[in-house]
Amino acid sequence: MDYKELCFQVQNIAHSTGNFIRGEQKKISEKNIEIKSVASLVTYVDKTAEKQIVDALKKLLPEAGFVAEEGTAESNNEKYTWFVDPLDGTTNYLHGLAPHSVSIALAEGDELVLGVVYEVGADEMFYSWKGGPAYCNDEIIKTANRSKSEDTLIATGFPYYAFEKVDEYIDAMKHLMKSTRGIRRYGSAAVDLCYVAAGRFDAFYEHALHAWDVAAGVFILQQAGGKTTDFNGGDNWLFGGEIVSASNAYFPEFYGIINKYLGSK
């Protein structure tokens, strides 16, 4: 498998889908919105974009399965699995806000080997492949080297379901408000992770995410020199619904903070 060449082909798919998403933004009205739950929305843009991506990826790797947000295709224990979020940040998109992104990752067995995140509004393509560095628009990116909380900027997201940890979540935010340069909530986990990879943020954490939200962003972050675990320091971040990501320099302190408030008691 030539992961580098495959990565460039996936970038073309993400860019093409991003152009479609961008072109449809002013055409959408309230009647086009389907409500999964109060804060979880979907439109024909999400569904059409996913079909475009899945159809294109099937041509690249016919033997692969899929874990995709809108259920266009499925995985049945194939050797290769694509993780696809056609529009990460749908609520931002519908309100005319950035960021929103196309997120695509590939796993070979249990190992992620490729990640592409295209931030549509800023026209930024983040990507990496097994054995390669992480890039943003053809420039190599690295995580920041800040190691003290008072020097860091943190990203997070707010759960839109599974509210059982909401009090602990707020307690963690209170701690970080007092001990860091600030907290940002941008609304696209894929982009947040890429911003950590690029050194714009120092860390990211969130509860109640899905595999398609984080697979590509985490892979890019790891290739850029970052680290990811679940809230208890384990490796169940892809399917476990909780994630702690940071630069290697800051990870020990940041993980300690998140584990204190959100780890299993």
> What are the start-end ranges of the E strands in 130-170?
134-136, 139-141, 153-156
User: Does 60 belong to an annotated binding site?
Assistant: no
pTM of the model: 0.94
Neighbours of 5 (CB within 10 A): 10
159, pLDDT greater than 70: yes
pLDDT at 164: 85
Tokens representing 36 are 């999964």
Q: Is the dihedral of CA 132, 135, 138, 140 positive or negative?
A: negative
The yes-or-no verdict on residue 38 having pLDDT over 70 is: no
Higher-confidence residue of 69 and 6: namely 6
Does 167 show up as a binding residue in the annotation? no
Asked if residue 86 has a cis previous peptide bond (ω within 30° of 0), the answer is no
- Residue 88 annotated in ligand binding: yes
Confidence class for position 41, pLDDT limits 50, 70, 90 = low
85 marked among binding-site residues: yes
pLDDT band at 40 (very low <50, low <70, confident <90, very high): low
- DSSP assignment of 213-224 equals HHHHHHHHHHHT
Residue 265 has pLDDT above 70, yes or no: no
pLDDT at 39 over 60: no
pLDDT confidence bin for 36, thresholds 50/70/90: low
Sign, CA torsion 68/52/108/64? positive
Tell me whether strands 153-156 and 101-108 are parallel, antiparallel or unpaired: unpaired
The residue count of the chain comes to 265
Contact 196, 143 (CB under 8 A): yes
Q: CB under 8 Å to 82, separation ≥6 — which residues?
A: 54, 57, 61, 64, 65, 66, 67, 68, 104, 105, 106
Closest CA to 89 of 153, 160, 152: 160
Instruction: Give me the sign of the Cα torsion angle 86, 91, 96, 100.
Output: negative
Comparing 23-32, 88-97, 118-127, 207-216, the range with the smallest average pLDDT is 23-32
Which residue type does 68 have? A
Structural domains in the chain, CATH included, are 3-140 (3.30.540.10), 149-262 (3.40.190.80)
List the one residue out of 201, 196, 209 whose CA is nearest residue 165.
209
